Amino acid sequence: MSGERVLVTGGSGFVGVHCILALLAAGYNVRTTVRSLDREPDVRAMLSRGGAEPGAALEFVSADLTDDSGWADAVADCTYVLHVASPFPGREPKNEDELIVPAREGALRVLRAARDAGVRRVVLTSSFAAVGYGTAALDRSYTEEDWTDPTADVSAYVKSKTFAERAAWDFVMREGNGLELAVVNPVGILGPALGPDTSTSIDLVLRLLRGAAPGLPRVTFGLVDVRDVADLHVRAMTDPAASGERFLAVADGILTVPEVAGVLRARLGDLARKVPTRVLPDWMVRVAAFVDPSLREVSRRLGNHREVSNAKAKRMLGWAPRSNEDAIVATAESLLGLGLVPGVRDGDGQNSNG
C-alpha cells in the first residue's frame, strides 16, 4: 500500500467523496477527477466534514467522461482506479442517449486509459439497475448472476448502467491485455451527506423530512450506506478473488417507503415532524405518473418486491454492511446538520441518541 496511488473518478460526487475518505483512511495516495478544478475547495471541504485533511495525499485533475483529454494524466502512475463517475439525473431526460452515451463511452474511455497506463485493476461502480430491472419479479433473491433487460420498459438511467457495465466487461475480455476488472452494484445509496449538493439517491429522505411528498407510495427497495459502498470498493480493489467478479451492495432486508418514514419518526422524534404519514394507494401513484414524469419510475416499481442478496460480498470479501435503520438515520442527521430542512434544526427536540 505504501506509495500506491488510486484514481477515483468523480471525486465531487456523493459516492466518490466517500471512496476518497475510505482510501485515505487505509493509507493510500489519491488522485481524483473533477470536471472543473474549481471544485477542489468544495471536495476538500466535504472531506474535512468527513474527518479528513489529506493535504498532499490528495491531488486533482480535470477530466470529463465525454472527452479524451486529461485521462492519460489522470491514470498516470496509478496502481488502481475506482471509476465512480456516471450521470444520475433527477428526472428522465428527453433523449435517453444523454445518459447512455456518456455512461458507456465514459467507462470505455477510463478503461482504455487505465490499460494503456498499466493500471492493475479497475473497480467500476455500476448499479442494481444493471441487475434486476426489465424482468418479471423472481421468487428468489436477485444475485450477481442476474442482468437487466434493457429492451424492456425501463428508464434511461437503468439502460445507461446496463449498457455501460456490459461494455466494460466486453472491453476487458477482448482488449484488456491483462487489466483486471471488478464491479460493485449498489441498490439505493443512503448515508451521511457531506455537502449541500445531495444525490438523487438520498432525495427521498430529504423530501420526507421537508414534508414535500404528498404521501407515501408502497414501493419496496433495498438500501445501503454509502460508507459501506466505499468499503466494498476498497475490498474489491485489493482482494485477489475479486478480479472478474460483480458484487451487489445491499444491507440486509428490504423496506417500503412507509417503513422508511416510520424509522425517521421513531428515531428522530420532533425532528421528523414534517414526515408524512398517509400511505398512497397504488392507483393514485399510477395516475399521478401520467402528469409528473418524475413519478414514472416509482409507478413501474409498484407491486415489484425485489429481494436482493448480499451473500457473495459477505462470503468472498468479508463485507459487513450497516443496518437499513442506521443508514436512514445517518442520512437524516447529516441533512439536518447541513441545514437543508427549512424550519427544522438539528438539536431541536428529540434526536436519534435521545
* Residues 144 and 182: beta-carbon distance below 8 Å: no
- State the catalytic residue, choosing from 94, 161, 312, 314: 161
Pairing of strands 254-256, 220-225: antiparallel
Between the CA of residue 6 and those of 27, 32, 73, 149, what are the distances in Å? 11, 8, 13, 33
How far is it, in rounded angstroms, from Cα 308 to Cα 141?
Answer: 5
The terminus-to-terminus CA distance of the chain in angstroms comes to 41
Is 312 considered catalytic here?
A: no
Q: Which of 310, 316, 148, 307 shows the shortest CA–CA distance to 245?
A: 316
What string of H, E and C letters represents the secondary structure of the chain?
A: CCCCEEEEECCCCHHHHHHHHHHHHCCCEEEEEECCHHHHHHHHHHHHHCCCCCHHHEEEEECCCCCCCCHHHHHCCCCEEEECCCCCCCCCCCCCHHHHHHHHHHHHHHHHHHHHHCCCEEEEECCHHHCCCCCCCCCCCECCCCCCCCCCCCCHHHHHHHHHHHHHHHHHHHHCCCCEEEEEEECEEECCCCCCCCCHHHHHHHHHHHCCCCCEECCEEEEEEHHHHHHHHHHHHHCHHHCCCEEEECCCCEEEHHHHHHHHHHHHHHHHCCCCCCEECHHHHHHHHHHCHHHHHHHHCCCCCCCECCHHHHHHHCCCCCCHHHHHHHHHHHHHHCCCCCCCCCCCCCCCCC
Q: Which three cell numbers stand for residue 44?
A: 476538500
Catalytically active residues, by annotation: 161
